[in-house]
Chain A
């Protein structure tokens, strides 16, 4: 319906004008940088190919989804997931194509677990015979599965799981049973309403040899179990399953609870690539290498690390574009008749957004490095070589903790930098924040898993300290031994790293700090025998320092070895590297300052950091819009009035409020003495009450 507001325009200069100016004044070539970042694995080509297919389908329109109830939103999520699958068949999409489509639609797909944890676990933990049976069923979607490990009472501590799988030697079956309420499976994605099969992790209980009535636990093991009827889709007898209810985000995922009452499954249900039970004797065969059970989890963590860059890039894209357009207050020292200042020109805004812009690139290079390490290790393990497994496990734990924290906090920091409009549905950062905030606690709580990094480093340091003069086994070992040797030699003066002038010195100073903290931890725990619990905070900081060191060094390596970026773009990238590293150094608080100061970085350099950071931000500022453009995040994915490529911020906000908002189709009766809620409905409030 036309009205007088159709004629109104935003005050000048408007968003398109402002963004055009921003794009013109930067020497960063958007396409060149985008190619550098995203072309290697065909990402850009794939995005360009899949996007138009999605945008043709009305079901994928995101316009009104924020208004739906949980059941309706879940149904929409399932309808989309189904359509995506059908499109995948129609267009013969590969798995990566399909994932691209999921990424662009941006629902947490209720089908997510099928190709991730379900298939991966079968591939990695099933025997050959089991694989031959199950894999085709999964890949053809004849069965539909989930991964049920976490319970109501236990998450991080997998060994504490309570669900039992008791071997019945008479019938050669396992009996799944939940002895308590806390044994209920909980949080398991895709299982609440959808999956008919699940990998169920349960304590393996076997009769003690010699006394068949006494059972001994052999720890948690995975079983593949059918849980719903294939025709009626109702849970099988002896199984209770449901969705666990509304959450902070993940609205389109049916996270489940699941309980068993003496539920029998065949001997073949136990996934037995690494450990197995002899059906005749009931005797248990141990896995050769227990750490292998961590395989799938490490894969998921490596993926989370790799994905963090795109999550943060989305938030930073919105923040940079909007704050470049948004004007508020005139410069106190400037022309009183002039325009109001762009919010992005305030240092208090820059200090929040610019380091995060730099962080997107740091996360990118580290994500690539993490992937490479995962692939190498996997290949080695397939060939029976477990040498690098512990290193990969530690690296993935530490980086998962730090990178998800950086991205999750970064998304929220960007949202708040948008001021009031950041709170609105048009910011595009609400669902992103809601969905992504699961990451700091999922797949290993960010605070818990840093213990694994610390334990690994303490072990490495112990080995280095015991034989500091032998040849080094790997890079970390070499660094640790050098540190131990320098420490014990009386006349060695610690090197001072010139972090303001030399880019490689920055890397060295971060490595030095991580090594020094590893030595501290080794000293406290091994030499002084300090209580583990008392050390937890220190150990967390050690893990953080180690992971920061990885982020800085991979960033440096990537820029040093790159041959393709042109001079002007490269200059800006080096400034981003410096900003990321020096901002991190400045913000690591006093403790790290002490390490940096006493051993690695001079006091004078440290006191220069705030000014240097501000200077770097000013240098990067003119390129900010082009830098975020280089991430090539389509408007369809951003779904943000504030972050639109064309800058039509206010028009879009108004359009969403005015034309797309279902609430505005209802007229209220505001008088409190009348029970009627919707004007003219004559309803005495009974409709409302009936929904309770």
Chain B
């Protein structure tokens, strides 16, 4: 690394007022109790766990982050594996729980090559394997004696799982399956941890028995030799190459040339083949398979709040430290204005600040619902429902709690990850030029997060499932078979009052805001139903309408969850009245800012008047920005994201933005070790190394 700068440079300070002073002022002007709010958001245990882990990880050299953005892909991945190994060693040494391991991984801040083993491989074996298979695979996997991944997506097919091309053909003679890739597009693709690390995979393949296709099923397949770690014969496996982000993960490809696996390798908890009769045994409870996906999506919603919080923390702190231009209307010697005082900056950042709280509370609400549902299903887990092989949205809509939750999770996953992903880019741009530096900490984080918008169901594709569910619910309500769940309730309310019209006082009554969002959703649902059922429009021609409908419905759910959370006794009990008021203001900012952006739909549905929309825009939102602005720093402090995790010069807790940017540029930047020959006619590139240095 470059030698330290000369003494006169080291003596320089940023021009005053210093970042540290500005953040102190910011913290002094608000009474929000940061500690209490942190506990409400994360719980005391989680905060203590974070402290403990931080103290353990930060001193370890292998976890150093300073070269992350300067290394080449091959070096980065090797280091990433070294980090993963060390984490696993620590986990064993300190007997970490699952939560602790996850929390430690979050602090490291990048995916590692063990990622998919620790999540999808273990989960799938656990949930879809029989006790026999648990013994055979799960126990060894838990000890990392075998390392696996989950191979579903292919080169030619992602969203459409039924279109997968890899085949698993049952051979009754020797009781085996032949796994085969008939085309190039059948190649497994994007499979995390598979590229260079895993020696096993759960492979989703089309099951063929006696020439008949039974759809995609999971098979455990060994892909690499346990000694040499080389691919087994007739298996072709490798890493798919550099990506936009996620470059510390070895996403892989995988092809099979008629590879045989024994009968026991088909995960058989839900469906199986009778070894002797070659008969297919249908799944007892198809919807259970969807349970995992619903859990994953609820998790994405909850995480989206935290993901966005990183960007908002960086941008808000930096915009409080950054000063640019004098206020045009201020006195001549007032000094430059903090960027965060500009309305143009506030209107970008503060609604995102509100969004991260909104998503967090919504995610919490969904997890709770998921748990309740799991408990209920466990209580009544006897088969007996109709055993169709379809997704739960095809089951009796409205009556089925899982259908409600599944549809909910699809739409919310789409809305939450889009909000977080796009919000991060807004935060980055709000940091002006310095946001473009990797040391801002936002760009790399954004790049690693982006795949979330397309995986576990592409955000646009998913919206169809929500629409399908809402249409079914609407049909049920119209025919008097309403089940009384929340979706049916808002549709019924709309029908009952449609002729009288709505009169929601969105500017004064918080509950009316929620009702207005419900009204708009119901209106769009019946409009879509009219297009589909009465006008017989094709499904395809309605996709844009469905996407808007799903977005509206998900926004309603976020607004509702946020409102319920800020009005809950739990929140009242743990916060002082000032902070509580602020939480209500954040709710209103999120809701009214959304209402303003979607004003055309609200107006068309008759939920609000033009006058109300104008007042929302010109008065209510502006007033909320003014009310929240003084508390902005404490509101991001409450997320308690450690500096080490933020890994950002701009977002440091102490505000020493410029010192840190300069330190990293001059001390941690390997480019400054190179002295170049700048002239085009000299082929030599470097003055301080041999001209033949490797390219």
Instruction: Decide whether A and B are members of one complex.
Output: yes
Residues on A lying within 8 angstroms of B by beta carbon are 3-5, 8-11, 66-76, 78-79, 81-82, 84-86, 111, 141, 144, 150, 152-157, 160, 162, 178-184, 186-187, 192-196, 232-234, 240, 242-250, 254, 257, 259, 261, 327-329, 331-333, 340-341, 345-349, 351, 412, 415-416, 419-420, 422-427, 430, 433, 437-438, 440-442, 445-447, 531-537, 540, 589-591, 593-594, 607, 610, 614, 650-651, 653-654, 656-658, 660-664, 666-675, 677-679, 685, 688-689, 691-692
Q: A157-B325, A246-B69, A668-B197 are in contact. Are A232 and B678 (CB under 8 A)?
A: no
CA distance A277 to B100 in the complex (A): 67
Which of A329, A437, A537 touches B159 (beta carbons < 8 Å)? A329
Contacts of B199 in A (CB 8 A): 670
Say yes or no: B184 contacts A328, CB within 8 Å. no
Contacts of A246 in B (CB 8 A): 69-70, 437-439, 669
Stretch at the interface among B11-19, B384-392, B582-590, B637-645: B11-19
Query: How far in angstroms is the closest Cβ of chain B from A332?
Result: 4
Contacts of B240 in A (CB 8 A): 424, 653, 657, 661
Say yes or no: A66 contacts B241, CB within 8 Å. yes
Say yes or no: B70 contacts A533, CB within 8 Å. no
Say yes or no: A4 contacts B437, CB within 8 Å. no
Contacts of B433 in A (CB 8 A): 150, 155, 186-187, 441-442, 445
Say yes or no: A419 contacts B81, CB within 8 Å. no
Query: How far in angstroms is the closest Cβ of chain B from A688?
Result: 5
Q: A329-B163, A614-B541 are in contact. Are A157 and B324 (CB under 8 A)?
A: yes
Say yes or no: A441 contacts B241, CB within 8 Å. no
- Count of chain B residues with a beta carbon within 8 Å of a chain A beta carbon: 156
CA distance A186 to B666 in the complex (A): 12
Say yes or no: B613 contacts A240, CB within 8 Å. no
Interface string of B442-477 (1 = CB under 8 A from A): 010000001101110010100100000000000000
B94 beta carbon closer than 8 Å to chain A: no
Contacts of B69 in A (CB 8 A): 70, 245-246
8 Å CB interface, B211-240 against A: 228-230, 234, 236, 238-240
15 contacts between A and B (CB under 8 A): A71-B671, A193-B675, A247-B437, A423-B246, A441-B432, A535-B343, A594-B614, A651-B184, A663-B74, A663-B250, A666-B196, A668-B197, A670-B199, A672-B84, A675-B85
B628 beta carbon closer than 8 Å to chain A: no
Q: A591-B617, A675-B85 are in contact. Are A657 and B239 (CB under 8 A)?
A: yes
Say yes or no: B255 contacts A259, CB within 8 Å. no
CA distance A420 to B443 in the complex (A): 19
Contacts of A674 in B (CB 8 A): 85
Contacts of A653 in B (CB 8 A): 155, 189, 240
Say yes or no: B183 contacts A668, CB within 8 Å. no
Contacts of B244 in A (CB 8 A): 415, 423-425, 427, 430, 433
Query: How far in angstroms is the closest Cβ of chain B from A232?
Result: 7
Q: A70-B670, A533-B342 are in contact. Are A10 and B156 (CB under 8 A)?
A: yes
Query: How far in angstroms is the closest Cβ of chain B from A107?
Result: 14
Query: How far in angstroms is the closest Cβ of chain B from A357?
Result: 17
Stretch at the interface among B288-296, B503-511, B657-665: B657-665
Contacts of B614 in A (CB 8 A): 594
Say yes or no: B238 contacts A657, CB within 8 Å. yes
Query: How far in angstroms is the closest Cβ of chain B from A12?
Result: 9
B676 beta carbon closer than 8 Å to chain A: yes
Say yes or no: B336 contacts A160, CB within 8 Å. yes
Contacts of A438 in B (CB 8 A): 436
8 Å CB interface, B293-343 against A: 323-325, 327-329, 336-337, 341-343
Say yes or no: A154 contacts B184, CB within 8 Å. no
Query: How far in angstroms is the closest Cβ of chain A from B6?
Result: 7
The 6 A-B pairs with the shortest beta carbon distances in the complex, nearest first, are A590-B599, A85-B680, A69-B72, A246-B69, A248-B443, A672-B88
Residue of A nearest to B5 (CB): A240
Query: How far in angstroms is the closest Cβ of chain B from A505?
Result: 21
Say yes or no: A664 contacts B674, CB within 8 Å. no
Contacts of A249 in B (CB 8 A): 436
Residue of B nearest to A231 (CB): B687
CA distance A347 to B547 in the complex (A): 10
Say yes or no: A351 contacts B544, CB within 8 Å. yes
Say yes or no: A654 contacts B155, CB within 8 Å. yes
Interface string of B418-435 (1 = CB under 8 A from A): 000000010011001101
Contacts of B693 in A (CB 8 A): 75
CA distance A594 to B609 in the complex (A): 12
Which of B84, B89, B544 touches A614 (beta carbons < 8 Å)? B544
CA distance A531 to B330 in the complex (A): 10
Query: How far in angstroms is the closest Cβ of chain A from B68?
Result: 9
CA distance A253 to B556 in the complex (A): 46
Contacts of A155 in B (CB 8 A): 324, 432-433
Query: How far in angstroms is the closest Cβ of chain B from A164?
Result: 12
Say yes or no: A9 contacts B341, CB within 8 Å. no
Say yes or no: B665 contacts A257, CB within 8 Å. yes
B600 beta carbon closer than 8 Å to chain A: yes
CA distance A76 to B654 in the complex (A): 38
8 Å CB interface, B531-563 against A: 538-541, 543-544, 546-547
Say yes or no: A67 contacts B155, CB within 8 Å. no
Query: How far in angstroms is the closest Cβ of chain B from A234?
Result: 7
CA distance A8 to B184 in the complex (A): 5
CA distance A685 to B453 in the complex (A): 35
CA distance A61 to B216 in the complex (A): 41
Say yes or no: B454 contacts A243, CB within 8 Å. no
CA distance A154 to B336 in the complex (A): 11
Residue of B nearest to A326 (CB): B156
Query: How far in angstroms is the closest Cβ of chain B from A441?
Result: 5
Residue of B nearest to A654 (CB): B184
Which of B239, B243, B438 touches A245 (beta carbons < 8 Å)? B438
Say yes or no: A245 contacts B451, CB within 8 Å. no
Say yes or no: B89 contacts A10, CB within 8 Å. no
Say yes or no: B658 contacts A160, CB within 8 Å. no
Residue of A nearest to B337 (CB): A533
Query: How far in angstroms is the closest Cβ of chain B from A584?
Result: 14
Contacts of A672 in B (CB 8 A): 84-85, 88-89, 114, 144
Query: How far in angstroms is the closest Cβ of chain B from A689?
Result: 6
Contacts of B410 in A (CB 8 A): none
Say yes or no: A78 contacts B676, CB within 8 Å. yes
Residue of B nearest to A685 (CB): B82
Residue of A nearest to B537 (CB): A333
Say yes or no: A666 contacts B243, CB within 8 Å. no
Stretch at the interface among B59-67, B360-368, B573-581: B59-67
Q: A71-B673, A679-B228 are in contact. Are A5 and B184 (CB under 8 A)?
A: yes
Say yes or no: B438 contacts A248, CB within 8 Å. yes
Q: Determine which residue in B342, B433, B659 has the highest number of CB atoms from chain A within 10 A of its CB, and name it.
A: B433
Contacts of A84 in B (CB 8 A): 680
Q: A10-B156, A245-B668 are in contact. Are A195 and B678 (CB under 8 A)?
A: yes
